Amino acid sequence: MTPPPDATWFLPLGGTGEIGMNLNLYGHNGRWLLVDCGITFEQKAGSVSGRPSIQMPDPGFITSRRQCIDGLILTHAHEDHLGAVPYLWPQLDCPVYTTPFTASVLRKKCGWRRAAMPSPLVEVNPSDRLQIGVFDVQWLPITHSTPETCALLIRTPGCRVLHTADWKVDTRPVVGEGWRTADWQGSDFDGIDAVVCDSTNALTPGRSPSEGDVADGLLKTLAPLTGKVVVACFASNVARLQSVLRVAHATGRRVGLLGRSLENMYRCARANDYLDPDFSPIAHEHLDYLPENEVLALATGSQGEVGAALHKLSMDSHPHLSLGEGDTVVFSAKTIPGNEAAVLRLVENLRARGVAVIHADESRHTLHASGHPCQEELADLYRQLKPGLVIPVHGEESHMRANAQIARQQGAASALTGSNGDLFHLSPTPGVRRRWAPTGRLEWLEDVQRLISA
């Protein structure tokens, strides 16, 4: 069964009912538009390396119809939105559309995996509007925790749907332009038919802090420290990288980047003019030659990942930096549920060697800001747009139910929750057909790949 010319459909194959590995399909007039193609990580018992395996959505439903794909849009550079492209694109074999920063991250990823580069890879500026097959797509820049994240306004004859992607309200994002929901006004947004929306923080009251608040918190936290300092954060948060470089400048320290993903992200951010060229990092090999009060290392591994830079520092096995009494590790990241034990082990190992640890989850200063909307941000969006239909995605069932409840309270005519494989009718009449398409997970065994390439 293919989408008829008078209907517009939404079909998630990944990322609905779970956080991670997003793969969303929009259908109209016999054609499909894909939005995002991501991975998730899963810790396997008995793994040879201790590293998690890479999981991705089974795209079988759409690869068996690949002649009907008009394109794949990547909304931003996070792994749960583009990480599966190096593995799955050869089966999709369709044009890929994304913004320049996300394209550079994808090129690095494909190069490192020695995977086929998507072709054509079409670079789109945030705010562009393109006709992609039967879909009229308008990119809408929003704020999130990586640069150039865009929502999409997708138009088909008789339907306008807003795909929010991952978003938050941030008026001081440090990198890029500030944004608030009030910016979405005018005829493009009046009487919108459907909103497909991020549910990650729908259980969290209030609003997300700004990256600007984190920059202030980092300065207050680091200013009084005298020994070596390591800040751990997510590599893709370019604003955090910029904030740490500025704090280093303000406190007389030099920054070294520890971890391949941080170095790659730094290069992509520089190539796209997202970092202030006045505050450059030094080669990490030089960190150990500096006086202790001038050392500031930015490290990967805030989730306790085995083999990451912070893990090596905790084991005192890093080749270029050694920590001890008088030194401090600052976690500028929250602990993702499921990683608590690994993070605790890391913290205990550091403290056992006399290293002070300041964690964002416990600090009185703001040291981390989520990139997703909390309850008041969601309420503002729905109150403003009053959409005909809201479909919560990007969350587990409890997050999606909470998101749907907020939508109804704020005047959405209808809110439908579901799971991967459910077919949502956006127009002409909203509805859902449960378990319409087959879904599943594919697994890329990181361990096996490492053994092969060793």
> Which residues contact Zn ion by CB under 5 A?
78, 80, 166
Measured distance CA(341)–CA(450) in Å, rounded: 25
Residue 158: left if φ>0, alpha if ψ -120 to 50, beta else—which one? left
CB of 76 to Zn ion, least distance (A): 5
Q: Which one, 3 or 395, has the nearer CB to Zn ion?
A: 395
Measured distance CA(334)–CA(305) in Å, rounded: 14
CB of 446 to Zn ion, least distance (A): 20
SS3 428: coil
Q: Which one, 233 or 347, has the nearer CB to Zn ion?
A: 233
Cβ-based burial of 219 (10 A; exposed 0-12, middle 13-18, buried ≥19)? middle
SS3 348: helix
Q: Which one, 8 or 204, has the nearer CB to Zn ion?
A: 204
CA 22 to each of CA 167, 220, 395, 431: distance values in angstroms, whole numbers, following the listed order:
15, 37, 10, 22
CB of 144 to Zn ion, least distance (A): 5
Q: Which one, 78 or 425, has the nearer CB to Zn ion?
A: 78
CB of 145 to Zn ion, least distance (A): 6
Strands 423-427 and 8-14: antiparallel
Q: Which one, 34 or 321, has the nearer CB to Zn ion?
A: 34
Q: Which one, 77 or 346, has the nearer CB to Zn ion?
A: 77
Which residue in 95, 106, 81 sits closest to 32, CA to CA? 95
CB of 105 to Zn ion, least distance (A): 12
Q: Which one, 303 or 314, has the nearer CB to Zn ion?
A: 303
Token readout for 155 is 């138009």
The identity of residue 365, as a single letter, is: H
Measured distance CA(107)–CA(444) in Å, rounded: 20
CB of 391 to Zn ion, least distance (A): 16
Name residues whose C-beta falls within 8 Å of residue 342's C-beta, 6 or more positions apart in sequence. Answer: 303, 304, 305, 306
CB of 172 to Zn ion, least distance (A): 19
Q: Which one, 70 or 166, has the nearer CB to Zn ion?
A: 166
CB of 200 to Zn ion, least distance (A): 7
223 touches 246 (CB < 8 A): no
Measured distance CA(169)–CA(149) in Å, rounded: 12
